[in-house]
Chain A
Amino acid sequence: MGSKILLNIPEKDMERIETLVKAGEYATKSEFMRFAVKQLLYGEERIGRLEAATSKVQKQTKDRKQIEVEIEEAKADTRRTLSKGRA
């Protein structure tokens, strides 16, 4: 059994939730809210993992110039690939 919370939801949002429930997208308003919470928590978890991974890459960055050079080289590769594809 989960915990219960009382929410104040703007009228407009509640109307949209009710429309989705009536359309059969969600069995109940509670199911909609559970799904919304899960989605948000998943997003938070994903961002957390991403921030940890980016800090490894960011530690290797000396300055902006390094990034510009890396991007220019990668774009040059793309130009070559696209030119070959066209030939």
Chain B
Amino acid sequence: MDESLGMLGVPLAVLGGALRVSPPYLFVSLGECLTEKSGRVNLGLEGTLVMGAMSAYGVSYLSGSAWLGVLAAGGVGVLLGALHAWLCARQRVNDIAIGIALMLLGVGTAFFLGKPLIKPTAPRLPAFELGAWSDSPPLRAALEVNVLFAIGIALAFALRFALNRTRVGLLLRVAGESADSARAMGYDVLRIRAYATALGGFFAGIGGSFLSLYYPGSWNEGLSSGQGLMAVALVIFARWDPVRCLWASLLFGAAGALGPALQSVGVTGGYHLLNAAPYILTLAIMIATSSARRTLPGQPAELVSAR
């Protein structure tokens, strides 16, 4: 951060931070939103995110193309999502517990396979320079928007349209609201949920590729600070709407950027507590919006957490 900006640098750093930090939240929450709309919770997206980050970095390093890395991350996400769906299709298998298990498995496997990737440098993703008109370097740095983020924004609107205005989206929502109705209509609920979970995994994997290929832009074991898990809470905050997921991700990104931004201007007191801001925010939102007497508005009725 440029010293000359002084305290004015804080809102700028928060804005820049929101633009840089929020894309993983956005992709994971879009994936989770889709999965939950079909009536299933996938808590394993944290594992998918880390696996995606690792495989994106590895493929990008080996092939020299960052976009191939993004694709690989999506592919790994599909596999993990399909594994979740396949296991949950068995009788008496709890989707929340399987999610926790896949989270541990995904993170462990990523650390195992990613060990040789800590040192080398892989090609990174390109970015739009929205601040090119300005002479101020901090402003230019803050307004760098990654291509993947732009895709994510478009995806949020596309998903809302698809869920609310298309036949496939309607089917997905039927599976999430009333499995019996979907069955009575002659559709295979488990298959619908499997597709939704796999596609959700695809998005989460791409979110991971953003972590390793753009910001922070390298692979190490502390890459994810639980974004995959917070995205699950974020979907609740966004009331299961993809576009609201976008706003919520920006808010979470900004909350996460507050600590480092204040530290850069010399305010160091409460640094760790400020880092916890996104978690506390999530919890506060959940406390404020939950109710003991009714399910949340917009919550798919088939979710285990709705019962």
A and B assemble together: no
B residues neighboring A (CB under 8 Å): none
Q: Tell me the A residues contacting B by CB distance below 8 Å.
A: none
